[in-house]
Structure 1
């Protein structure tokens, strides 16, 4: 394990390029931000998400990729369909009891010599602290890391690489931070509105000024599993 200063996308791209991956499954793709970035790099991308409305928006935003409605624990794909399977901030959104099945499914649809890439946020850092009034993910994030550890211990996968790093997010103000949280999960909107004053206070206490913007640090862990 190493501690580095790097952004998430370069870590993912480096792993994919080293593996000479071509076809990539983006699990929990949401509106398709990662899918778009990968498609622009020339990868054949398929996005999977359980929310049909979000999948529709992703398909409109990234016409060069394929998008399907489905869950991580029951992927609608044949065995060995992809060179890489990626969970970007997604495994902890899978129901806790289904996380082992999601990793097993990822292994099933992965081609020989491919990699499962899981990127998970830790329950720590300024970003997490400011987010707490909206949603406390302390337990579910720990369960996601536990599911990965169990998959390794049980021999389902092997750990090829693990990188701990800080993701730096920039926002003009607390309102932009709240908008970011709500875009990632619209179900947060009511809690964010109710706790707006607390969020604004925490933002002012923990965000660091960077020119005209403010930064929040989120410790992350990058897992490459084979």
Structure 2
């Protein structure tokens, strides 16, 4: 299944109007902004660890949206303040040893019966074959899923209410856009030297066409409910 609009997919799982949402590792907050445009009765808090991205977010305010600097394993908010927590390709960026703590923190800030939506990329596919040349996330992605499994096995805090796998389209106008977005993000240092740049370009260019490069990234989504 191909999902081009993950917000529409999420809306098929949960009501999104009139709720308090926290996005952990919000990045540029594109998903949060889109959610508020469609559901202006809700409010979203974006939490971001990258100082440069957080500063950019603060320069672009939007009604219903607030930004804070922080990490998932130490969420700077009181207990039971949110209905929904979002982790969109962000759980695997939490330090591996801190992943269990992050899930406990999410449970703490959710109201009883609140939901955690975790959307994680799968370590497979043509897109992954290019990205892993400079950013091999096989271990941390597996650790993210194992952390969820362990939290569910414990049974005290979380119940899984949905699990889905689908592909999401990823598009780049050219290699320059891919390099800027994936190889040189503000939140990570991939140690790209000239040889690595050539290697990645060679792997990327066969995917280029008249309309740029198009990939389908496999995703694994899990929706949890706080007990």
Is the structural similarity TM-score above 0.5? Answer: yes
Describe how 1:57-76 pairs up with structure 2 within 5 A: 57-64=56-63, 65-76=65-76
Change (3 A) 1:192 1:46: farther
Which sections of structure 2, spanning at least 5 residues, go unmatched? none
Change (3 A) 1:134 1:192: farther
Partner of 1:36: 33
Partner of 1:109: 109
Describe how 1:8-157 pairs up with structure 2 within 5 A: 8-17=6-15, 22-41=19-38, 42=40, 43-64=42-63, 65-155=65-155, 156-157=157-158
1:68-88 per-position Cα deviation (integer Å, ceiling 9, x unaligned): 111101111111100100000
Change (3 A) 1:130 1:152: same
Change (3 A) 1:13 1:216: same
| 3-state DSSP of counterpart to 1:61 | coil
- TM-score, length basis structure 1: 0.89
* Alpha-carbon distance between aligned partners in 1 of 2:53 and 2:29, rounded to the nearest angstrom: 9
Change (3 A) 1:150 1:68: same
Q: CA RMSD in A?
A: 1.9
* Alpha-carbon distance between aligned partners in 1 of 2:185 and 2:29, rounded to the nearest angstrom: 11
* Alpha-carbon distance between aligned partners in 2 of 1:28 and 1:150, rounded to the nearest angstrom: 22
Q: Is the 8 A contact 1:127 1:218 kept in 2?
A: yes
- CA offset at residue 39 of structure 1? 2.1
Moved more, 179-188 or 141-150: 179-188
- CA offset at residue 196 of structure 1? 1.5
Change (3 A) 1:51 1:204: closer
Asked whether 1:221 is paired with 2:220, we answer: yes
Partner of 1:173: 174
Q: Is the 8 A contact 1:128 1:218 kept in 2?
A: yes
Q: Is the 8 A contact 2:3 2:169 kept in 1?
A: no
1:107-148 per-position Cα deviation (integer Å, ceiling 9, x unaligned): 111112221000000111111111112211010010001111
Which sections of structure 1, spanning at least 5 residues, go unmatched? none
* Alpha-carbon distance between aligned partners in 2 of 1:129 and 1:185, rounded to the nearest angstrom: 22
Number of matched pairs: 220
Runs of 4+ in 1 over 4 A off after TM superposition: 182-186
Q: Is the 8 A contact 1:35 1:62 kept in 2?
A: no
Change (3 A) 1:123 1:21: farther
- TM-score, length basis structure 2: 0.89
